[in-house]
Amino acid sequence: MDHGPMRIRLCRNADLPAVQTLLADSPQASPWALADGSGYHSLIAEADGEIIGFAMARVVCVGEAELLNVAILPPWRRRGVAERLIRQALLFSPGDWFLEVREGNTAAIQLYEKIGFFMIGKRPAYYADTGEHAIVMTLRAC
């Protein structure tokens, strides 16, 4: 599938219906209600006017932030979209970043490790929808 160039930008209210659809098509993503994301730093990846990816982060306090959600449309997976979104999100706040990822989501874990995140713990039965454990990862962003 040939697509035009991708760009990353801040999420706008008008993007929310497309983001909700994207999240519904991404079972590995966190099942956030969009209202839960108000006030967070949300990024959109788009190509040819279509939203193809989404990332949400928040600053917890000075020097600490969390990557809360990443979702990519299936035809765009494994094409660098998630990596670009995450690297852009890391610019929101220098310091320590944290995330939780489903233990069985090996593709995401490998991507996070490629970016520089590493495992610091596990949360048993963290995901209510499946009872799956969460891997807790961290990264020091400059």
83 is catalytic: no
Which H or E run contains 97? strand 95-102
Q: What angle do the packed helices 106-115 and 81-89 form, to 10 degrees? A: 50
Q: Which of 46, 64, 103, 112 is catalytic?
A: 112
The CATH class, in words, for 6-141 is alpha beta
- Both structure tokens of 75: 């035809």
Q: Which of 66, 83, 100, 127 is catalytic?
A: 100
- Whether residue 95 contacts residue 103, with contact meaning beta carbons closer than 8 Å, is answered with no
Write the DSSP assignment of 35-57 as a string of letters: GGGTTSEEEEEEETTEEEEEEEE
100 is catalytic: yes
The reported pTM is 0.85
For residue range 31-53, list pLDDT tens digits in order: 565 555 556 889 999 998 899 99
For residue range 83-121, list pLDDT tens digits in order: 999 999 999 888 999 999 999 999 999 999 999 999 999
Separation between Cα atoms, residue 95 and residue 89, nearest integer Å: 12
- Whether residue 96 contacts residue 86, with contact meaning beta carbons closer than 8 Å, is answered with no
